[in-house]
Structure 1
Amino acid sequence: MKDIRQDKTESSLFDLLQKYKNNRLKFPDSIIRNNEWGFDQKSAYVESMLVGLHLPTIYFLESIDGTRYCFDGFNRIRTKFDFYDGKFALQNLKFLPEYNGLLFDKLPGVKQSRFEDLKFKVVTIQPPFDLDSVYELLQRVHGGRYVDKETFFYAIEKTKAF
């Protein structure tokens, strides 16, 4: 595996939303297709954030123009965006059942603040990079269960950024 330049940071909900709205954060659809979470998974993830559990790292590939492409963590980011925007209510919660049926704006203020303030650990793989090495890294992060190589390279090709 060749050396991979990485920038390790933390990003808030608002940081990521701003990048997304300014078209500086993109989600390759061929990676996420057939892999989106249902409402129970989304609710469990939000509940994890609300009780303060550790959030897994998110991986971006950065193009030469600075646009970031999410190749690991789509569901986590999208869930946070969608819950914040009121696109789904919590359901089937195990630790906070009193919040079942609530949208973000109906949560107690302290929980809204916790949700807004939580930061994602982000690794941005910076150019230049060897795509075979990036794929190997993502395979290792996923314990060998990342998308197949053909799907990964198809997603890379569709972005027209690398």
Structure 2
Amino acid sequence: MARPSERPTAEQIELAEAQILEQSKRIDFFLTEYSVEILAQKVRDDEYVVPAYQREFTWEDRRKSRFIESLIMGLPIPFIFFWEMPDGRLEIVDGSQRLRTIEEFIYGGFQLGDLDPLTHLSGFRFNDLPESRQRKIKNRSVRGIVLNEHADEAARLDMFERINTGSKNANNAEIRRGALAGPFLDVVMELANLPILGSLAPMPAKAKKERGYEELVTRFFAYSDGLEDYRDRPSDFLFVYSKKMNEAFAADPALADAYRTRLNTVLEFVSRNFPIGFRKTAKGAATPRARFEAIAVGSERALAERPELKDASAEDIGVSSWIDGAEFQKVTSSDGANAIARLNGRIDFVKNKLVKHGDD
């Protein structure tokens, strides 16, 4: 919160200091350092836990080669981030791409691509190097941060987010999966693989691997169930919501089928009535989140208000009369898209259009 130009009072300083101390108690971690040889062995022998929320091995060969080149040159390598599990094993939270690349180079026969500046190493495998260089690479050290098992769940999420700020190493869907594995997120993962969802909401292969569909499904349920506690930060809202729903699904397993039905009903409605699904253009290969949220949640709200819309014809629904209009393009633009007023505005726009045409 912005402060006026005057200096903080003694009371404000005291409150700030107390808050710092309180929050610091939630963070319990230690630093560690491993040789490249040890890291490669541990990955090879499955001694590290790679959780379900970690994306697949998505680094392309060029990126792997650049990373190994940096390692060989002795450039600083970013910290590997672990969580110490209650059984003492280390779960990789951030750094699995780096660790798996190291293992693939040392033990998996990975062949380096075109390098710069180490151009003469292009095409080399680890075993092509002289033994002296192999030993030097194995002896390189990589530092790690291990978050203690006693750190609470919120502290884990906060550290996950901060470490990944500005990077592509993890995203909010992966973070939730890491911190909140449970029955609700299991259903989210299942529904994210629905063929009809992929057909209506295409996205690039990279976005799929980064759990883009899980993000869409989670947003659909969270926004549909109510935005009373939404404060313009989707990541915070979705985390709290997912935690609450994990508990609800555990207490009432029947909720899983109810939520499956909800999403399928909306997807079938969109398939029948929206000519290009959630796409922005007929040939679009990506799905803007704002557009997905507006259509999916707006459709569910309309169906809740007017259940008979489910059986109406596409001609009666009349989506084509407004879906390409300037007004809809404006409410689903990215400018300020996560502000609560904009979020409600685009959802209600779709709902009102559907309900209105249902009256015609």
Q: 2:123 is matched with which residue?
A: 101
Contact 2:81–2:144 (8 Å) recurs in 1: yes
* Match of residue 5, structure 1, among 23, 28, 36: 28
Q: 1:137 is matched with which residue?
A: 159
Q: Distance in 2 between matches of 1:71 and 1:122?
A: 11
Post-superposition shift, 1:38? Answer: 0.7
Q: 1:64 is matched with which residue?
A: 86
Q: Distance in 2 between matches of 1:77 and 1:70?
A: 9
Identify unmatched segments of 5+ residues in structure 1: none
Q: Distance in 1 between matches of 2:41 and 2:108?
A: 17
Deviates more, 1:112-121 or 1:12-21: 12-21
Contact 2:43–2:100 (8 Å) recurs in 1: no
Q: 2:178 is matched with which residue?
A: 155
Q: Is residue 86 from structure 1 mapped to residue 108 from structure 2 by the alignment?
A: yes
Q: 2:49 is matched with which residue?
A: 26
Structure showing the higher helix proportion among its residues: 2
SS of the residue corresponding to residue 16 of structure 1 reads: helix
Cα distance 1:111–1:29, how it changes in 2: closer, same or farther (>3 A)? farther
- Which digits, 9 at most, give the CA deviation of each residue in 1:72-126, with x for residues without a partner? 0011111100000133100110011111111101013333122101111011111
Q: Distance in 2 between matches of 1:116 and 1:109?
A: 10
Counterpart residue identity of residue 6, structure 1:
F
Q: 1:50 is matched with which residue?
A: 72
Cα distance 1:51–1:10, how it changes in 2: closer, same or farther (>3 A)? same
Contact 1:89–1:102 (8 Å) recurs in 2: yes
Contact 1:99–1:107 (8 Å) recurs in 2: no
- Which digits, 9 at most, give the CA deviation of each residue in 1:35-75, with x for residues without a partner? 62011000000000111100110000011110110010011
- Which digits, 9 at most, give the CA deviation of each residue in 1:134-158, with x for residues without a partner? 121122122255410x432323427
Q: Distance in 1 between matches of 2:147 and 2:59?
A: 25
Q: Looking at both structures, which has the greater relative contact order when contacts are Cα pairs under 8 Å and sequence separation is at least 6? A: 1
Post-superposition shift, 1:31? Answer: 1.7
State the aligned residue count: 156
Contact 1:8–1:121 (8 Å) recurs in 2: yes
SS of the residue corresponding to residue 31 of structure 1 reads: coil
TM-score (norm 2): 0.40
Structure showing the higher strand proportion among its residues: 1
Percent sequence identity is 26
Q: 2:227 is matched with which residue?
A: none
SS of the residue corresponding to residue 30 of structure 1 reads: coil
Cα distance 1:46–1:132, how it changes in 2: closer, same or farther (>3 A)? same
Q: Distance in 1 between matches of 2:106 and 2:35?
A: 13
Q: Distance in 2 between matches of 1:23 and 1:82?
A: 13
Post-superposition shift, 1:18? Answer: 4.4
Greater C-alpha Rg: 2
TM-score (norm 1): 0.85
Identify unmatched segments of 5+ residues in structure 2: 1-22, 183-360
Q: Is residue 36 from structure 1 mapped to residue 51 from structure 2 by the alignment?
A: no
Contact 1:86–1:103 (8 Å) recurs in 2: no
Cα distance 1:91–1:19, how it changes in 2: closer, same or farther (>3 A)? closer
